[in-house]
Amino acid sequence: MSDSSPHDIILWFFLGLFIVSCLALGWLLWPFVSVIILAAVTTGIFNPIYRHLNRRLNPTVSSLLTCLIIFLVLFIPVSGFVGILANEAYDMYLSAREALSSNPFKELIENSKMVDRINLILTNFGIAITGEELNKGIAELGRFVGLYLYEQARSMTANILNLVVNFCFMLLIIFYLLIDSPRLISFIVALSPLPDDQDEKLIQKFKDMAGAILIGNGLGGLIQGTLGGAVFAFFGFQSPILWGVIMALLAFLPIVGIGVVFLPAAIYLFLQGRIGAGIFFIVFYVLLSGGIEYFFKPKLVGHRVQMHTLLVFLSIIGGLKLFGILGIIYGPLVVTAFLTLTDIYESSYQQIVEPREK
């Protein structure tokens, strides 16, 4: 016992120092955690391009060219797009705020024969659609969405220098991650006390989820937002770019999706007496949303990421509430870590913690 006791003291002392150093390192890097996470996720997405270039060029040149592609694909379009989004979002917020004091839907409701027919049916249930209630609901929704998107866009454009510095910092991290990511992963696997297969499972799950978020949901949202905004512009709705961005964000939510925008727009067209346009909106929404969810995404990302639809929905909503717009990425990653660790616990450690009776 005299031999083991000093050894245990040394071990616990070292572990204490090691934990303190890890906490200090986390505290030091915490201001850059969003940039680091975005860099890691972006590295995983553009890594195939780097590997393709690295077959003919040396790692440094391949990484530089990949970073240049990321700059052209992400920074230039986003930086110009955010300013437009901020202006349209602020206009939407002002219009919704003015609508709260007026009642632009009153005349529309009173003159709509379809509303009379609907109210005739709804009276059996003690419900009626009034212009005041419809106006208040739509105005409140528009005010909330417009203000939220405006604040998100304004936070990005308030300090252009900060935005440029953060993006350059992200590119610097990506440059080294592209070159050294295999060594970094090997270092993490070797340092972790978990078995190698469990470490590799965790890392692979994060890669799969990052791919599903940015490649599957990202491209799916881009397609739905672009086509949806184009349809809104064609039918004469105001702020089609803003509505396209809203639809691109809503496309990440698996339960509601772009129907939150398309179905009220179709109802509005029905109230105006544009029956054909309203039917087109519903059919277009069903084809676009169904095609993306049931054909495009499964073909693109496959079935590597198995997560319940409701859990995906809650993770994104919770991520948006806690982290802002980046919660679309952070929320599912947090849930992925929990589910993967749960799976590892059930397969490897549950019998140790809860031994079955013979």
Q: What is the pLDDT along the chain (358 residues), one digit of tens a residue?
A: 445 567 678 888 888 898 999 899 989 988 888 888 888 888 887 888 999 998 888 999 999 999 999 888 877 777 666 666 666 666 665 665 555 455 555 555 555 555 556 656 656 666 655 555 555 555 566 556 656 665 655 665 555 566 678 888 899 999 999 998 888 888 888 887 878 787 887 777 777 777 677 777 778 888 888 898 899 888 888 778 778 887 887 888 777 788 888 888 887 787 777 888 888 989 999 998 888 877 777 776 655 566 777 787 888 888 878 877 777 778 888 888 888 888 788 777 777 766 655 4
Which tokens in the block code for residue 342? 């749960």
Q: Are residues 245 and 357 in the same domain?
A: yes
In a domain, residue 137? The reply is no
Instruction: Please state, in angstroms and rounded to a whole number, the distance separating the CA atoms of residues 144 and 149.
Output: 9
Q: Are residues 182 and 196 in the same domain?
A: no
In a domain, residue 97? The reply is yes
What is the DSSP code (8-state) at residue 3?
Answer: T
Q: Are residues 214 and 346 in the same domain?
A: yes
Domain count for the chain, please give it: 2
Instruction: Encode burial over 74-96: b for 16+ CB neighbours within 10 A, e otherwise.
Output: bbeeeeeebeebbebbbebbebb
In a domain, residue 112? The reply is no
In a domain, residue 323? The reply is yes
Instruction: Please state, in angstroms and rounded to a whole number, the distance separating the CA atoms of residues 103 and 81.
Output: 32
Q: Are residues 199 and 53 in the same domain?
A: no
CA dihedral 15, 20, 22, 28 (to 10 degrees): -170
Instruction: Please state, in angstroms and rounded to a whole number, the distance separating the CA atoms of residues 93 and 95.
Output: 6
In this structure, how many other beta carbons lie within 10 angstroms of the beta carbon of residue 119?
15
In a domain, residue 266? The reply is yes
Q: What is the pLDDT of residue 1?
A: 46
Answer for the pair 85, 242: CB distance below 8 angstroms, yes or no: yes
Q: What is the pLDDT of residue 340?
A: 80
In a domain, residue 141? The reply is no
Which tokens in the block code for residue 12? 């616990």
Q: Are residues 164 and 199 in the same domain?
A: no
> Which structural domain range is residue 324 located in?
192-358
Q: Are residues 93 and 211 in the same domain?
A: no
Q: Are residues 303 and 354 in the same domain?
A: yes
Q: Are residues 211 and 357 in the same domain?
A: yes
pTM of this structure: 0.67
Q: Are residues 233 and 214 in the same domain?
A: yes
What is the DSSP code (8-state) at residue 355?
Answer: P
Cβ neighbourhood burial of 205 (10 Å; 0-12, 13-18, 19+): buried
CA distances from 199 to 185, 189, 191, 194, 323 (A): 9, 6, 10, 6, 27
In a domain, residue 181? The reply is yes
Q: Are residues 249 and 348 in the same domain?
A: yes
In a domain, residue 53? The reply is yes
